[in-house]
Structure 1
Amino acid sequence: MTDAGTGRRRGRDETEEERADRMWTELIQEVRVAQMGVQILFGFLLTVVFQPKYEQLSDTDRTIYLITVVLGAAATGALIGPVSLHRLVSGRRVKPQAVRWASRLTLLGLVLLLATTTASLLLILRVATHDGFVPYLVAGVVAWYLLCWFVLPLWTRHRHTAD
């Protein structure tokens, strides 16, 4: 593929299958990073209910905890989903479609990880301090995550993607 204005090649010279193979490898590397984070967080969340302090939590904090655990379970499922998808469709000549679905699951997993992290932070800060600034602090961290995980990548894609 050449750029009409400069005559220079742009992009990669690869077949759909080669592109799918490359994208799959890149996706799995990305998923490994996210899986590590969600698995550590989810493992921690599973132990909270067995701590003596759990009985002292307010009803609101217990509700936040339960929502957080469910979000963590959902995030874990979405981020492990691409592995299962690959294993079940491997050799069926549907890699380009599998890459698209795995990419969607990964993006969903990241959104759920954001929600899990947000709820975890809210719970921890509510228990650690009973100050009214907690929601503002959590909102600031969420804004930071949104900037790093979504706004900057989308801005970069928009700004640097050829028409």
Structure 2
Amino acid sequence: MSKETEKQRWQRNFADLLQELRVAQTGVQILFAFLLTLPFSNGFTRITEFQRDVYIVALLAAAAATAMIISPVAFHRALFRQGRKPELVRFAHRMASGGLAFMLISMVSAVLLITDFVLSRPVAFLLSAVTALWFLAFWVILPFARRGWGDDEIDDDDDDPQVLAGD
């Protein structure tokens, strides 16, 4: 079995990132679409000022997440056939990470908005905090905790964010 070249590795890293972005993009687009239609629903006129502010945070965070998660496509178009795959992979990694952060803010804000609308505010804050911790556990804590585990013989540098970021 032949060892892949550096160019092949960057190409594989980019393909892996694109696949990850497809998953995230679907989720953020569904959330964004929901938030875009919410003001046109009948009950939206009954929201409080606090709920309106939370809605704006959720909407803007979803917009930011959408822009960041889709941006590697535009970046790829701009750099197409210029042999700058390493730069593209590093950029896509940063945009995916930032997009996930904005997606987290949007998801938690949407949960806060809805729970505050149907439950008491203290319960809404509690459920939103639990939601934030849940996302952080699966998106940050567990992945970073797992970084040091596993077989030492497996070369998994291509999935290491610091390698992707060029650090």
TM over 0.5: yes
Structure exhibiting the larger radius of gyration computed from Cα positions: 1
Please state how far the C-alpha of 1:68 moved relative to its aligned partner. Answer: 0.9
Aligned residues: 152
Question: Which deviations, in whole Å up to 9, do the C-alpha atoms of 1:80-114 show, x marking residues without a partner?
Answer: 01111111111011001110110110011011101
Instruction: Give the structure 2 partner of residue 91 of structure 1.
Output: 81
2:39 pairs, out of 43, 49, 56, with 49
Amino acid at match of 1:153: P
- 1:125 equivalent to 2:111? Answer no
Alignment of 1:104-115 (within 5 A): 104-115=94-105
* Structure 2 alignment gaps of length 5 or more: 158-167
- 1:77 equivalent to 2:67? Answer yes
Amino acid at match of 2:82: R
Q: TM-score scaled to structure 2, two decimals?
A: 0.86
Instruction: Give the structure 1 partner of residue 30 of structure 2.
Output: 40
In structure 2, the CA distance between the partners of 1:161 and 1:49, relative to structure 1 (3 Å rule), is farther
Amino acid at match of 1:157: R
**SS of match in other structure, 2:40:** coil
- 1:100 equivalent to 2:90? Answer yes
Aligned counterparts of 2:114 and 2:98: Cα–Cα separation in 1: 24
Please state how far the C-alpha of 1:131 moved relative to its aligned partner. Answer: 4.8
Question: Which deviations, in whole Å up to 9, do the C-alpha atoms of 1:45-99 show, x marking residues without a partner?
Answer: 0001111212111111001111111111000000001111111111011001110
Amino acid at match of 2:91: W
Q: TM-score scaled to structure 1, two decimals?
A: 0.88
Please state how far the C-alpha of 1:160 moved relative to its aligned partner. Answer: 4.0
In structure 2, the CA distance between the partners of 1:136 and 1:54, relative to structure 1 (3 Å rule), is same
Contact 1:16–1:96 (Cα < 8 Å) also in 2: no
* Structure 1 alignment gaps of length 5 or more: 1-11
CA RMSD of aligned residues (A): 1.7
**SS of match in other structure, 1:92:** coil
